[in-house]
Structure 1
């Protein structure tokens, strides 16, 4: 992830200009895969392009990045909270920052997964993702198709980046078909079989050159003293672009989305509302077996319980006592001094 942290402010601005806005249909498609829409986490948010789209479908979005220059370029939004996450943060600190265990309905990673320490990242995702019902979605593009003349010049530039590629950048160039993704498919790609998505976009020559200058492989080469975009090559791109200042280009994207596997349900969790659910897999409810003759006890049958209705004695009931003066309650005590003389006075 260190390469992303080294982008300067000017490079971050160029990165923002060159990257397309992801279509709303992608976020709608993902929102239909999650059971709840309370909280989302956009990881490696950069300038927040994905976070803003996610905010249309989720009530709260936590957008994190390790590069402050990128976050400085991010567009503000009332539903989006931008947070810096330095590499020194512990797993527990990151889980708490995002929202805690089992708190996130959607995790998105746009153009950044291949820079992460995947084992550590996936461990955090499995802790914060809601179970069941939460989804993680990742996507990347590996090329821009402009026109045959421009594409031929770009192919030469791409070939010159080979000495600066790493296994991580190769994952991106392969469209995430070789990246580890230990989640159960939700019908949008799967590990080893990412879903291709073409994204048409209007792009100016200046925007295209900004993309080339912010390309991580070009930035890496320049940090090592090699300029892969000399003025002569930029002139070739300009000549190949032609007189039309804006072209419709096609970004070649690849997406994978998944949910936690049942084997990841290894601690108690709860749905919105705070009530605790038992650990997965859920135990069967303690319903009594249905009545049938096979469930009756063998004879001799046990005697029925003794009859009782409140405090009534068991039968046979004793006969009531005969009615008589002896059964009448005693009279109330006479007042002191006896009864007043007759006729009784009324009032005072």
Structure 2
């Protein structure tokens, strides 16, 4: 669990910019660029099989699924083998174009992508059995989102919201991994803290502090610790950090700064005793990611 830094909160530093949390911010700042969409497609974590199976096992019907805030489609395409029809929607044209390219490459015939906001969806009432939202609800006006989700879900449909805390590279040596975590948390909170457009405490709390759907939905399942460890290297981890919206915003304001280069150098020095002095790709690590999942079931009347 991420440790708090006394006297500093992300929410306190963000009050002035939360005028339209989410959808407007997602398209207005960095998610609309083709470069950022490509980084998302290559380096963002995909949810583990265990998490997906939780969702699938709770669904009373597997006819249709809508993945909102789908980005470049990593989560959307994983549902293709479980549902007859899968639709991903996002309000970033660049992300949708990247998702379409992936769909074409993988020949996913039962997957389609639509440009749509979540506060005013283009889909008809009762269109889907399941709605998924991966690492995106903290961007939304949740009141509008819950209302629209209730409208487009069929009777007894599911709303599954999930995400992940800050992924950390681990070497297997506890003392070094602790030092790595401290250094990355400095980047996350101090260096990039002022550049987050949303309240990151929602992610840090595994959505426990997120406003609940309330009337129209009943809680079905909550999982707060679904761990995924996958192989990576130092270069791959740094490329993942480049997908952070806060880094993209920082880079735009500070084009000459080499924030990730400095981090890479620090991490390389920390890992020297364990992994030797090879190239960055020779420094083999595991990326440890803690996923969380909240599932709600639609109930009538609202």
- Structure 1 length as normaliser, TM-score? 0.66
- Which whole-Å CA distance do the structure 2 matches of 1:90 and 1:18 have between them? 28
Can you list the C-alpha shifts for 1:236-277, whole angstroms capped at 9, x where unaligned? Answer: 13333454433122101111011123442xxxxxxxxxxxxx
Out of 41, 46, 69, which is 1:21 matched to?
46
- Which whole-Å CA distance do the structure 2 matches of 1:240 and 1:12 have between them? 31
The reply on whether 1:146 has 2:146 as its aligned counterpart is no
Give unpaired runs (5+ residues) of structure 1. 265-348
The reply on whether 1:257 has 2:295 as its aligned counterpart is yes
Alignment of 1:91-170 (within 5 A): 91=120, 94=121, 97-98=122-123, 100-132=124-156, 134-147=157-170, 148=177, 149-160=179-190, 161-165=192-196, 168-170=199-201
* Deviating 4+ runs (over 6 angstroms): none
Out of 56, 65, 83, which is 1:40 matched to?
65
- Which whole-Å CA distance do the structure 1 matches of 2:34 and 2:271 have between them? 27
Aligned to 2:24: 2
The Cα of 1:54 is off from its aligned counterpart by: 1.3
Aligned to 1:222: 251
Contact 1:17 1:207 in 2 (8 A): no
Give unpaired runs (5+ residues) of structure 2. 1-22, 171-176, 276-281
State the secondary structure of the residue aligned to 2:259.
coil
Out of 240, 261, 282, which is 2:270 matched to?
240
Residues 90 and 156 (structure 1), Cα distance of their counterparts in 2 relative to 1, 3 Å cut:
closer
The Cα of 1:167 is off from its aligned counterpart by: 5.2
Moved more, 26-35 or 227-236: 227-236
- Which whole-Å CA distance do the structure 2 matches of 1:143 and 1:90 have between them? 27
State the secondary structure of the residue aligned to 2:82.
coil
Can you list the C-alpha shifts for 1:213-248, whole angstroms capped at 9, x where unaligned? Answer: 111222233334385725333321333345443312
Aligned to 2:56: 31
Q: Higher strand proportion, which one?
A: 2
Which structure has the higher relative contact order (CA within 8 Å, separation 6+)?
Answer: 2
State the secondary structure of the residue aligned to 2:238.
helix
State the secondary structure of the residue aligned to 1:143.
coil
Larger Rg: 1
- Which whole-Å CA distance do the structure 2 matches of 1:223 and 1:200 have between them? 32
- Which whole-Å CA distance do the structure 2 matches of 1:140 and 1:171 have between them? 10
- Which whole-Å CA distance do the structure 1 matches of 2:42 and 2:166 have between them? 16
Residues 17 and 179 (structure 1), Cα distance of their counterparts in 2 relative to 1, 3 Å cut:
same
Alignment of 1:323-342 (within 5 A): none
Can you list the C-alpha shifts for 1:47-81, whole angstroms capped at 9, x where unaligned? Answer: 11111111111100110111122222222121110
Aligned to 2:5: none
The Cα of 1:43 is off from its aligned counterpart by: 0.5
Q: Give the number of aligned pairs.
A: 251
Contact 1:157 1:228 in 2 (8 A): no
Contact 2:155 2:299 in 1 (8 A): no
Q: Higher helix proportion, which one?
A: 2
Q: Cα RMSD (Å) of the superposition?
A: 2.2
The Cα of 1:173 is off from its aligned counterpart by: 2.5
Contact 2:219 2:296 in 1 (8 A): yes
